[in-house]
Structure formats: structure tokens, C-alpha cells
Structure 1
Amino acid sequence: MNSSKPAAALAFFQSNSLPMLVQEEIERLIMTGELAVGTRVNESELAQRFNTSRGPIREALRALEEAGLVRNEKNRGVFVREISFEEADEIYELREALEEIIGRRVARAIAPDGIERLKGMLKAMGSAAKAKDVEQYAQLNLQFHEVLLETAGSQKLIETYKRLIKELLLFRMRALDNGGGLSVSVDEHRDIVDAIASGDAERAGRVMRQHVADSRSRMHTAMGRPDAGSPLSNSSNQQGA
């Protein structure tokens, strides 16, 4: 038996999975703020931190650039990407449309145990909100929407949505903390679960879209910018919704 084949296969797996593992870890550093927005990414420090060569670091950074989390400036290096208010606002507008699609699909597809899982998450979110633990609440919030996304059952939707969410994370944290979102977000998520549990796809879509429109408005407040409001949000206010 040729023992070199398993060894070669293992080496191939390790060399191909390492950049992915490094990418996930660098992404975590960005998402938690340890690598702050606008800061330069030091390849040597990361290579030392992860006990690897700079090759996997470069591969990981190229993937993160494609994902919109870092930018590569010629002759200057790689920096954690900073998103302007205007770009964030455009992403929120796209999210409104995507969340409406997700809400409709989930209302048609979710099983009773899925509803119970969401209710359990609501309870945890309520506890985090009561404790004013913004970071914990933000993580639970992401997990809640990931469950909805998985239930929606569309790979293309998952890929598109996750990229947008990663780009918006820091803005969403500020909206929860400074825009007044923590005090009302649990109720909004409870409305989402109720709408989904009703099985009414159109209602679920509307509630999901309105949730994002309200989050967008809170982002405006957190950033100290005039709230132009989305067409949906303005229409809902006029109707007393």
C-alpha cells in the first residue's frame, strides 16, 4: 500500500483549508472591532498571530476584498473598509426588498418546531435587551435573521444577503446603541414571528420590510443625519400603521 497518497491528500487539504480558516478568523476580528474600520491590516502581525506564512494571509485578504470587507490600496497596503453613510443607506434599501422576499418564503416553508425555535430566540433577545447588552443582542439578532434566511431556502439569496449584512454590521451596532433600537427591536422581532406563524406570506413580507425600514431610520438617527425615510416607511406612517 502506498502511504504517500494519504499524506499527499492531507497536505492538499491543509493547504487549501488554511486560507479559509485564516479568512474566517480575520473576518471575526473585523466583525468584533478588534480590527477597526479604516485601520491598516498588517500581514506580518497576522502571520505571526496565526503561526503561518504570509501566503495564506494574502489569500484570505483577497477573499475578504471580494466580500467587501477590506480594500487594497496600491503601494499602501490593505485596510479595513469604511462604508459611507450614503452607501450604507443604499444597502438598507436593498435589504428592505430582500427581507420582504425572505418573509414571504419563510411564512410558506417554516414548520411548527421552527416557530418554537424563533420564540426561544426572542426570549434570549429580550433578556439581552433588558440587560442593555448591545453586543449580545446584536449577535442574537444576526442569528435570528440567519435562521430565517436558511428557512427561506435560496442559496443565491443567502449569498447576497450575507454580504450586505457583513458590510452593514458596524452601522447596525450604532443604530441599536445610539439610535434607540434596543428598546423597540424585540417587539419588532416578535411581530415578525407572529406574522410568519400566521402563514400569511404577504403579511410576513410587509412586516419584515417594515422592520428594515425602521432599522434604516434608526441608523439615520445614530449617524445624526436627516431621515428622508423610505417610501414604505412614509406610506406606513401616513396610514397610521
Structure 2
Amino acid sequence: MTNSDDVGLERSSAQFSLSVLLQRKLEKLILDGELKPGDKLNELELSKRFGTSRGPIREAMQNLCARGLAEAVRNRGVFVRTITPVEAFELYDVRAALFGLAGRLLTDRIDDAILKKLYDYVEDMDRLAQAQQYSDYYRTNLEFHDYLVRSAGNKMLVREYHSFVDRLHLCRMRGLVNSGALTISNREHAEMIDAAASGNNQRAQETFFRHVARAKLRFRSSLEEAGLT
């Protein structure tokens, strides 16, 4: 016989799992650009789209707010967060410090298998850049950076790094897609791999830090070209 407490726990667990699944689906819509900064997240429309009740949708939206990808506006609803240029510059600064640490740690862990995978990513991005396949390049670029950070072997670093990068996704595409930026960025990727493979922790830390600092400059330049600063 199942008591009422057990039933309640099962229902709570099922709803939690569903809200996490819905959160991931909403994150994908945001990161793929289908839901853009400033777009309203409509509970009713989303519940119809995903074929679920509004409760798990509401919880998923709350989780997005906690992660900085959405924001709740009183008496108006929940919206995909808009990152201001000043916020973006600050996020780049903190990301550079974390990424530099990842490079320093990776130097002590890198092996032939990691090197091969990293160089495979660089080759793929070269091909995508030449073909001007911007969306595919962007996704591969994210995977490359994620693999670098995870390969550093520090779970806390991975968590903190992602908390900043997730918010940068809301504005970062602009910094990559302009004339020659893809090729330049990928050249820096190869420099980072070489630095990590050199065994010199300081060199790797500086090279990884410099890559993000340069990305910030490219982002700033793209905003200036668009008259947004």
C-alpha cells in the first residue's frame, strides 16, 4: 500500500524532472536565437507548445531567471533578458579571468587524446568559417570552449564559468560574426592549444586570458559599428 506522503513525493519528483526538461528546452530556444532578448515568455503559449500544464512552465521560467537568462518584470511577466553593453563588458572581464585559470589547470592535464580532440575542433571551425556557416561555427565554438574548461578538471570552475557564459550567449553572436572575426578567433584557438601543450602554465594562462580579452574588443567594435555604444 502506498501512503499519501509517498504519492506526494513521486508527484513532486515528476514535476521537478519535467520543469528541468522544460528549462533545458527553453534554454535551447534562447541560445539558438528563436527566443530573442526582450521576448516575453508566455506561460499559456508555452504550455500549449510543449503539451504540459502551466505549473512546470512557471517553475522552468523561474529557474531561467535564477540563471540570468530571463528576468521577471512586475505586473508584466517574464522576458528573455537583455544584456546591456556595460554588463557584457563586465561579464567578459570575469570570464577572461576564469578562462585563464582553465588554461593554467589544463596544462597539467593535457594528453594526446585531448590534443587530438581540440585540434579536430579547430579544423572543423576553419572549414565552417570558410563556408561562412555562422550558426554552425558558433555552436562548434561553444562546444570547443566547453571542452577546454571541462578538461581542466575542476568542477567548481566549470559551474562558475558557465554561469557567466550563459548570459554572454544573449549578446555574443554579434561579436563573432563580422568581417574576418571567425578566422581570427580560430587562429587564437590554435594558439591556446599550443600554449597548453607547451607545459608552461603561465604562458597558457596568459594566452587563454588574452583570447577572451580580444573577444571583448571584437564585441565592443561590433557595437560601435552598429552605433550601439
Asked if the contact 2:126/2:183 (under 8 Å) is kept, the reply is no
User: 216-225 vs 59-68, which deviates more?
Assistant: 216-225
Q: Which residue of 2 aligns with 1:195?
A: 195
Does 2:24 match 1:24? yes
1:162-211 Cα deviation digits (max 9, x unpaired): 11111111322101113642121111101111111112111111110111
Q: Is 1:170 aligned to 2:195, yes or no?
A: no
Residue equivalent to 1:237: none
Task: Name segments (4+ residues, structure 1) moved above 3 Å.
Answer: 2-5, 7-13
Question: Is 2:107–2:201's contact at 8 Å kept on the other side of the alignment?
Answer: yes
In structure 1, distance between residues paired with 2:12 and 2:74 = 32
SS of residue paired to 2:185: helix
- Report the residue type matching 1:145 in the other structure: H
Q: Secondary structure at the match of 1:72?
A: strand
Note the 1:201-220 alignment, pairs <5 A: 201-220=201-220
Q: Secondary structure of the residue that 1:150 maps to in structure 2?
A: helix
Distance 1:123 1:197 in 2: 17
Give the drift of 1:12: 5.2
Question: Residue type matched to 1:224 in 2?
Answer: E
Normalised to the residue count of structure 1, the TM-score between the two structures is: 0.87
Residue in structure 2 matched with residue 46 of structure 1 by the alignment: 46
- The answer on 1:103 being equivalent to 2:103 is yes
Gaps (5+ residues) in structure 1?
226-241
SS in 1 for 2:79: strand
Superposed CA deviations along residues 64-115 of structure 1, whole A, max 9, x for unmatched, are 1000011101111001100100000011111111111000000111222111
How far the C-alpha of 1:45 sits from its partner, in A, is 0.5
Contact 1:180-1:218 within 8 A present in 2 as well: no
**What TM-score does the superposition give when structure 2 sets the normalisation length?**
0.92
* Partner secondary structure for residue 178 of structure 1: coil
Aligned to 2:82, the other structure's residue is in SS state: coil
Partner of 1:77: 77
- Residue matched to 1:114: 114
C-alpha separation between the residues in 2 aligned to 1:43 and 1:3? 33
Q: CA distance change for structure 1 residues 196 and 116 in 2, over 3 Å: closer, same or farther?
A: same
- Higher RCO, 1 or 2 (CA under 8 Å, sep at least 6)? 2
Letter in structure 1 aligned against 2:93? E
Q: State the shift of 1:11 in Å.
A: 5.0
SS in 1 for 2:58: helix
- Residue equivalent to 1:152: 152
Structure 2 stretches of 5 or more lacking a match?
none
The percent identity for this pair of structures is 38
- Which residue of the partner structure matches residue 222 of structure 2? 222
Paired with 1:180 and 1:4, the residues of 2 have a C-alpha distance of: 64
Computed over aligned residues only, the root mean square deviation of the Cα atoms, in angstroms, reads: 1.8
Deviation sequence 1:41-83 (CA, Å, 0-9, x none): 1110100111000000111011110000111011110011001
Q: How far 1:21 moved relative to its partner?
A: 0.1
Given residue 116 of structure 1, which amino acid in structure 2 is its aligned partner?
Answer: K
Q: Which amino acid counterpart does residue 220 of structure 2 have in structure 1? A: H
Letter in 2 for 1:221: S
CA contact (8 A) 1:38 1:82 kept: yes
Give me the whole-angstrom Cα distance separating, in 1, the residues matched to 2:144 and 2:224.
28
